[in-house]
Amino acid sequence: MSENEIPAEEKSLLQEGLDALRKGESEDAEEIFQEFLSRYPESKLADKACYNLASICLKREENEKALEWLEFLLRKYPNGETAYMAKDERIEVQRMLGIGPIETSDERYRKGKEAISKGKLIEAEKIFLSYLNDYQDSELVDNAHFNLAMIYKSLGKMDKAKYHVDIIMSCFPDSDAAVYAADLLTDDE
């Protein structure tokens, strides 16, 4: 359903809540977003109402309540436009409450890439090996193997580089990593 296919009364009520929020009328906005969810729980805009309710709670430092809204959003509307932001926001709120992960898979992956960019290959190797151990279901596993293959090639450990290239080619043959990994062992940098 495109934006034009969303009923006008749904768009209007959500906009009314957003307008109240912009005016600093958070209590009115909260009531409007809750009314929206009550009247249109299956709307394509419902995730936005949830996200705004969580934001209102965060501004009031009602972190537990904000977390409840974010978790509700992710459970009820996992494919909504705000779901991606809600995932990150949920992690931050969990951290504020002392229950969140110390580090996400994306953060650890970025640390590994940063270590490579600084020429700290041994540190990067440790990060990516721990990444593969801790985040086996991540969508970046193929890239972690590729980074390890590059690290080992740079360190002259071609047997280990080949090991990771072989994993990419057999387990992730259609990935971007496979496109580059195929040339990694023959490339003379």
Give the global pTM.
0.64
Q: Are 13 and 28 in contact (CB under 8 A)?
A: no
Residues of the chain with CATH 1.25.40.10: 3-96, 105-184
CB count in 10 Å sphere of residue 81: 13
CATH topology for the 105-184 domain: 1.25.40
Domain 3-96 has CATH 1.25.40.10: yes
Q: How many CB atoms lie within 10 A of CB 84?
A: 9
Please provide the size of the chain in residues. Answer: 189
Cα separation, 75 vs 20, in Å, equals 27
pLDDT digits (tens, 9 = 90+) for 122-145: 999 999 999 999 988 889 999 999
DSSP code string of 71-140: HHHHHH-TTSTTHHHHHHHHHHHHHHTT-S-SS-HHHHHHHHHHHHHTT-HHHHHHHHHHHHHH-TT-TT
Distance between CA atoms of residues 81 and 48, nearest Å: 8
- 25, with CB counted inside 10 A (0-12, 13-18, 19+), is middle
> Other C-beta atoms within 10 Å of 8: how many?
7
Nearest to 177 by CA among 133, 128, 130, 134: 128
pLDDT tens, position by position, 17-70: 999 999 999 999 999 999 999 999 999 999 999 999 999 999 999 999 999 999
Q: What is the pLDDT of residue 187?
A: 54
- Count of CB atoms within 10 A of residue 7's CB? 13
